[in-house]
């Protein structure tokens, strides 16, 4: 069982309504609703997106905010309903996944290797690969399973991009909720640091194909990059605090 939680912040300016619709359509086609629940938090989106969310309201748990709480806090609202032993998935509202029961595949990975803290689906634009010159992006290919179970290929990495990632329930017991300095950026990168400090590792399931459908052609893409860039010093300070133990890796509030 896993909670799938998605933050939505669509405005007339960033033109993301269609992305949200396509992502939800994908979830309806590929997620086993008997095993997983879909939680969507609307960060004060535009009228068009509110209608899309209303159209899917029979199939999702919907929470509506009067303002933009940011990605981490919005995802955390869904995660707050986690039951003991239940995994949590963060998914962005601009992805199409070309594999049925992908959520079950993510669950199966942490079942086969409980030391996996974060396991995600890999976008085509991710830099991680086994031959990368930069140690931060250099990955390692491995197999888990065997015996009476099929072998599953994984790609061990330092950081799983947050487009679609499952958090092992055992890891969540140690780190709590997502955290980011402000409204956008670094929640996944900081989670990867917390994961490693907690004694787990991160990986991709590279054989599951996904498409990041945001073309990046609106001003919103530039805003996101600039906004996150302003927080790089804060990110490095927080990261170092996790590593040296001066800041707890456990974030105990969803808000």
Contact between 36 and 164 (Cβ < 8 Å): no
Mean pLDDT across 146-175: 95
Residue 255 has pLDDT above 70, yes or no: no
User: What pLDDT digit, counting tens, does each position of 102-119 carry?
Assistant: 999 999 999 999 999 999
Residue 81 has pLDDT above 80, yes or no: yes
Yes or no: is domain 2-244 CATH 3.90.550.10? yes
For the chain, the helix, strand and coil percentages under 3-state DSSP, each to the nearest 5: 35, 25, 40
Residue in 198, 199, 116 with CA at minimum distance from that of residue 160:
116
Element (H, E) at 210: strand 210-212
Give pairs for 80-87: CB < 8 Å, separation 24+.
80/177, 80/254, 81/3, 81/37, 81/39, 82/3, 82/169, 82/172, 83/1, 84/169, 85/1, 85/169, 86/1, 86/2, 86/3, 86/169, 87/1, 87/2, 87/3, 87/166, 87/167, 87/168, 87/169, 87/172
Question: Does the pTM of the predicted model rise above 0.75?
Answer: yes
Query: Residue ranges per domain, the chain?
Result: 2-244
- pLDDT tier, 254 (very low <50, low <70, confident <90, very high otherwise): low
Lowest mean pLDDT among 45-54, 104-113, 218-227: 218-227
Pairing of strands 140-146, 210-212: unpaired
Residue 132 has pLDDT above 70, yes or no: yes
Lowest mean pLDDT among 20-29, 143-152, 156-165, 190-199: 143-152
Quote the DSSP letter at residue 176.
B
Q: Phi and psi dihedrals of 80, rounded to 5?
A: -65, -15
Mean pLDDT across 51-77: 96
- pLDDT tier, 183 (very low <50, low <70, confident <90, very high otherwise): confident
Rounded CA gap, 121 and 123, in Å?
7
Mean pLDDT across 52-68: 96
């Amino acid at each position: 069982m896993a909670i799938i939680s998605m933050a939505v912040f669509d405005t007339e300016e960033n033109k993301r309504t269609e992305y949200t619709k396509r992502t939800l359509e994908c979830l309806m086609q590929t997620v086993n609703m008997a095993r997983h629940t879909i939680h969507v938090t609307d960060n004060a989106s535009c009228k068009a997106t509110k209608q899309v969310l209303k159209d899917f309201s029979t199939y999702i748990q919907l929470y509506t905010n009067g303002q933009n709480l940011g990605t981490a806090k919005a995802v955390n609202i869904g995660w707050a309903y986690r039951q003991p032993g239940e995994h949590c998935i963060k998914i962005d509202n601009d992805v199409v996944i070309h594999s049925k029961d992908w959520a079950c595949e993510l669950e199966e990975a942490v079942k086969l290797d409980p030391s996996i803290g974060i396991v995600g689906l890999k976008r085509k634009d991710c830099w991680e690969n086994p031959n990368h010159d930069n140690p931060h992006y250099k990955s390692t290919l491995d197999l888990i399973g065997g015996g009476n179970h099929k072998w599953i290929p994984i790609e061990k990495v330092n950081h799983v991009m947050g487009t679609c990632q499952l958090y092992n329930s055992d890891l969540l017991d140690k780190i709590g909720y997502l955290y980011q300095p402000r409204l956008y950026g670094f929640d996944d990168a900081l989670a990867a640091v917390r994961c490693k400090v907690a004694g787990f590792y991160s990986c991709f399931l590279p054989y599951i194909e996904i498409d990041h459908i945001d073309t990046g052609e609106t001003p919103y893409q530039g805003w996101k990059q600039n906004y996150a860039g302003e927080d790089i010093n804060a990110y490095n300070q927080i990261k170092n605090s996790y590593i040296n133990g001066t800041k707890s890796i456990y974030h105990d509030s969803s808000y």
